[in-house]
Chain A
Amino acid sequence: MIELDGVSHWYGQRQVLADLTLSLGERRVGVVGSNGSGKSTFARLLNGLLVPGEGQVRVDGLDTRKQGKAVRRKVGFVFQDPDVQIVMPTVGEDLAFGLKHRGQDKAEIARRVDAALAQYGLAELREHPAHLLSGGQKQLLAIAAVLITEPTHVIFDEPTTLLDLGNRRRIARLIRDMDQQVVVVSHDLDLLADFDRVLVFDRGRVVADGKPDGCIATYQAMHPPL
């Protein structure tokens, strides 16, 4: 359960989120909205990468302001560009990275890395330099490296924006099959079509909130074709 209570946020003088109060309990929550409407800011608030200028964000009761580190352990984050998210030189090392920083012992890390390599079809690529992966493989690695740490919630900020159709569908399937609660910011309306709930952002406010059909229609109506 992710809860926002009277959340507003500013960059300098500029307000980018205005008084959001939300309770997100659904397993799959989508977020749409135009560029600059505050989606990424919202996403970063959910795992404590940002703390709100005003108000409170809680994940399963943990306050992101006071228990940021604990929140980040529970809540994984997948960025749009996997090139900033992959920090280790090879696939295997990057998968091991998060576990190492959670103080797991070597045998356990090796076991989980093996399992993840097999699960995500990366087994051949363990020693492969990360920068030689394709765009789709990079995003797959970025997601696998988050999931390997067993978060209970995962936030995605435009995970498919840089991908081609085949890879978009592959990531969509992966998200669909996840057990965790996911919050997905996306311009890819197909990806959100079967979600449990969709939020539509406009200039820092939620202007529609509900089932995907209605919300996506509202969003499309905000941007009529020529």
Chain B
Amino acid sequence: MLSLHHEARTPVHAVPAGLKLLVLFVVGTGSFFVRSIPVLGGALVAVAGCYALARIPWRMAVRQWLVVLPFVAVIFVVQGLLVDWGSAVLVAERIVVLVALAALVTLTTRTAAMVAAVERLLGPLRRLGVRPERVGLVVAMTIRFVPVLKEQADQVRAAQRARGVEYSARFLTPLLVKTLRLADGLGEALEARGVDEDDSRL
């Protein structure tokens, strides 16, 4: 998902980040116990209502959508052929509700607030050896680097097209090399910026 933050003053934006993450978590787990097409359909309508309430421009909402649409379609067809079409509808609804809600949370929450909320919610797990600051860092860096990776993928594709290769799985090799190089540089940059392996705050 390439969701960017969408700044606005709406009731949805004003909900604290921690609460949004909790709702996402509850709906996420809950949806797996619901086996009713109308109930999940209702959830879908409710989420759509929240988009409207958050005044997300429809173009932005659609863009989130185009990315996951192919996956939903594939899963829907596979499920339909292997099991039955009723459960295919259920599975598709579940994914759509979850992705839409997750995208809504990212669109309406500043990353700093989100990271802080993740760290706070994971706080009680510290005793089990979970290090919330580290999880927070991973969340933040993921948000930062998804667009960078997408840009690299686009570059590799463009370079191949320039040489007359239209679609080829071989595009994965140079992308992998680029990604590994990025990861390498990133490790170095973190170290240069004062983050160490044994950092007590991580």
Contacts and interface: CB of A to CB of B under 8 A. Distances in A.
B186 A87 contact: yes
A85 B189 contact: yes
Interface string A18-36: 0000000000000000000
B185 A84 contact: yes
A87 B144 contact: yes
B5, B144, B151, B201: most-surrounded residue (chain A CB, <10 A): B144
A49, A76, A88, A127: most-surrounded residue (chain B CB, <10 A): A88
A127 B195 CA distance: 23
Interface residues of A, number: 33
Chain B's interface size range is 20 to 34
Please classify the interface of chain B as helix (H, G, I), strand (E, B), loop, or mixed, using the class held by over half of its residues: helix
Given A79-B185, A81-B185, A90-B112, A145 B193 contact: yes
A67 to B, nearest CB: 13
A84 B140 contact: no
Interface in A51-84: 69, 72-73, 76-77, 79, 81, 83-84
Contacts of A72: 191-192, 194
A86, A87, A100, A149: most-surrounded residue (chain B CB, <10 A): A87
Contacts of B199: 101
A129 B4 contact: yes
A98 interface: yes
A147 to B, nearest CB: 12
B12 interface: no
Nearest to A94: B144
B27 interface: no
A103 interface: yes
Contact of A87 (B110, B115, B189): B189
Contacts of B140: 87-89, 93
Interface of B: 4-5, 7, 110-112, 115, 140-141, 143-144, 147-148, 151, 182, 185-186, 188-196, 199, 201
Interface of A: 44, 47, 49, 69, 72-73, 76-77, 79, 81, 83-90, 92-93, 97-98, 100-103, 127, 129-131, 145-146, 149
